Amino acid sequence: MRDAFYFEGLWLLLGLGGGGLLGGLSGHYAEGLAVGLIAILGRHLYHLVGVARRIDRRARFLAPFPGGAWGIIETAIAEQQQRSRRHRKRQLRFAQRFREAAVSVPEGLVILDKNFCVEWSNPAAERILGLHWPVVRARPFGSALPNPLLKAYLAGGDFAQPFDLVPEHNRAVRLSLRITPFGGEKRQWLVVARDVTKIHHLDQIRRDFVANASHELRTPLTVISGFLETLADSRETPPGMRRPVDLMRHHASRMQDIIEDLLALSRLEMGEHPEQVQPVDVPGLLAQVVSEVTAEDGGQGPIDQDIDPDLFLMGDATELRSAFANLIRNAIQHTPADARIQVIWRNGPQGPVLSVRDAGLGIEPEHIPRLTERFYRVDPARSRESGGTGVGLSIVNHVLSRHQGQLLIASEVGGGSEFTCRFATAVAVRRGAERSNGSVPAAQTAAPATAIPHEAGNAPTARPNHLAASSLAASPIDQMGMGD
């Protein structure tokens, strides 16, 4: 840099000195200096025009470079061009590898613009989705893959759950689409399509097997239970046989309960939404459930209830009754007789919330994520002694999934557990107002209802930070689980 300044200073001295010398010889000193300055400026203009021309033509700056400041400038530009070429080559190699990877991925990949029009798709998308690239380029994704539910799914903008469909080009397969944001500021979307036909068939086989096996076992168990009841009530039964008969009756009854729960679970798995949706009188439903469950266990202490008497829910009363009864029955079974249970039904910040708190032994954190798996037990021996079937929480989870709900579990070892059913605001209704989609049946003792906003101050009480919590989002294709 110092040499460049010396070089430019030498040019300045030569220009001014030469101009002054010419002015002195000619007798016009000022004019001579002006000629010297013009010569200096002309040199700079020459180099400036040369640099601008090469930049405009995107030409490479090659040695030899001029001396002085212009040499530094051209050298810096040449180095920057070299760095840019290396960076561009790296980007091209990375893009090539990305294209090769995208082409080799077995799942169908589709890139959509912000308006959900197709920008690119890989070869697997042609095989799985029937999208022929580049024929589908710039076409709306909902039109390229015709499906009325898909258009509604895209319009909704909620892609937290995958979208399952049977494509028009091949009705024998079942696909699962997952859409995620892509492209940063361009606001693009990446669609990943998977063929889940085998998984769907295996799941259907499992459901059919459970339903058929449970149905076939129900009749012989009913016959066995009938004969055992006859033997237990008969005076001719030898005294030494009464204890074995009572044990057989107990286990046969427990098997019948398991079969009934499995059949109920199979019915819930048949669809994603309830068949009959109507306003349900949840306060009245909870009162009936608490009364019946406490009557079954006469040794249980009182249950504290904090119930909003006017907060209803759109759904199926039978399914909701089953879910609520399972939660309250679990709380009673795992709470000492002298301890209290809390049942809270209020409108929270994100929608209606049912909270059931017990004062039992609590659950270790590692067990909480698996509680809704069918037949999963934290303590198998204790669960059998209490008469649990092992599928109670699985039924609760599936009922909530069909009612836009979510099951939250929080527990502290030695401090009890809290099971929270959180429903969407859209399914909340209020007693006493007219509603166009139906009224509550007489058996539910509910007046017509209307959608309600969130009530300030009705959020459930926050749990301590040391509680281990698990959010178990309801989904129609979850892993099934247990609960008691």
Looking at CATH, the fold of the domain delimited by 278-473 is given as Heat Shock Protein 90 (3.30.565)
The pTM of this model reads: 0.55
pLDDT digits (tens, 9 = 90+) for 231-246: 888 888 888 888 888 8
Mean pLDDT of the chain: 79
Please, which pLDDT band fits residue 419 given cuts at 50, 70 and 90? very high
Over residues 433-457, the pLDDT tens digits come to 534 444 434 333 333 333 333 333 3
pLDDT by residue (tens digit) across 87-102?
999 999 988 888 888 8
Within the chain, which residue ranges are assigned CATH 3.30.565.10? 278-473
261-317 per-position pLDDT tens digit: 777 777 777 766 777 788 999 999 999 998 888 887 665 667 889 999 999 999 999
Tell me the residue length of the chain. Answer: 484
Q: Report the percent of the chain where pLDDT is more than 90.
A: 18
pLDDT at 285: 92
51-63 confidence digits (pLDDT tens): 898 888 888 888 8
Q: Where in the chain is the domain with CATH 1.10.287?
A: 200-269
Report pLDDT for 160. 83
> 């998977």: which residue's tokens?
194
Indicate the CATH number for domain 200-269: 1.10.287
What are the angstrom distances between the C-alpha of 77 and each of 61, 358, 457? 7, 74, 65
Fold that domain 105-195 belongs to in CATH:
Beta-Lactamase (3.30.450)
Q: What is the pLDDT of residues 8-36, one digit of tens each?
A: 777 777 777 777 777 677 777 677 778 77
Q: How confident is the model at residue 152 (pLDDT cuts 50, 70, 90)?
A: confident
Stretch(es) of the chain classified as CATH 3.30.450.20 = 105-195
